[in-house]
Amino acid sequence: MTLIRIGSRGSRLALTQAELAAERLRADGVEIALVPITTAGDKDRTKPFGEIGSRGVFVKEIEEALLARRIDVAVHSAKDMTSSDTDGLVVGAYLEREDPRDALCGAAELRPGMRVGTASVRRRAQLLALEPALSIEPLRGNIDTRLRKRRERGLDAVVLAACGLDRLGLDGEIGRRFAADELLPEAGQGALALQVRAREADLVASADDPETRRRVEAERACVFAIGGGCLAPVAAHHDGEKLTALVAAEDGSWLERRSGDDPAELARELLQFAAG
């Protein structure tokens, strides 16, 4: 029986997601070994992402293990990946996408003066655009840690990806799932990417969901064309009918959305707007 070594982060959510991929691949009659890997984003849970590195702080070490042949498949939250493929690696499969929305935990609505925890500049910008009188406080860590810190610090709410809460059976923590026209999701949010070495996509090809690939690849292409990452409030989401992208000021003082079919054209329009 073929043995496939799957690498992922070691958090409870990451291992749960890796097991989802393992179950799908076991259906093809292969044996799976899970290999937890610690990333830069896991080692430092206090600094803002921008001080640790660019977007990709949760995937770099896993990609290095894949290139070094210590693992055969890397499982990532697609939203954590850079918007372009790393040399020598490809996304061999996207599992069927789950709920891509952001979730408000601890409250059902936004109110002026609320203290809301998030480390995401994308979420910060859009939350402040919805309610400028919010107090946004930096909050990092895995899902369990952020839920615990909300209570310890007396925060009114935290914003997390709904799919992660669903996968861990923590959907009871959700007070509200934001519609995409309120908080546009991160490119790839809700999807799991199975990354492999170039020319080895056949290892996971049977697990690929073509519709998820179509949408997520459009989102990633748009963000790549804009040049966004962890330091820039940029988002892109394809709802199946159209692609919507945005750029914003981190303080929420301005926010521009555009929708269409062509990722490059949307990026061009948004860049022109941002340039004034």
DSSP alpha helix (H) spans, the chain: 12-26, 40-43, 49-52, 60-67, 121-130, 143-153, 162-167, 210-226, 263-274
Sheet holding 89-94, edge to edge: 31-36, 3-8, 73-77, 192-197, 89-94
Closest CA to 236 of 213, 250, 220, 255: 220
Catalytic residue among 42, 80, 99, 156, which? Answer: 80
H or E segment at 183? none
Is 80 assigned a catalytic role? yes
| Contacts of residue 196, Cβ cutoff 8 Å, sequence gap at least 6 | 66, 72, 73, 74, 89, 90, 91, 92, 203, 204
Provide the b/e sequence for 258-275 (b: ≥16 CB within 10 Å): beeeebeebbebbeeeee
Q: Which residues contact 76 (CB under 8 A, 6 or more apart)?
A: 8, 58, 59, 62, 192, 193, 195
Catalytic residues: 80
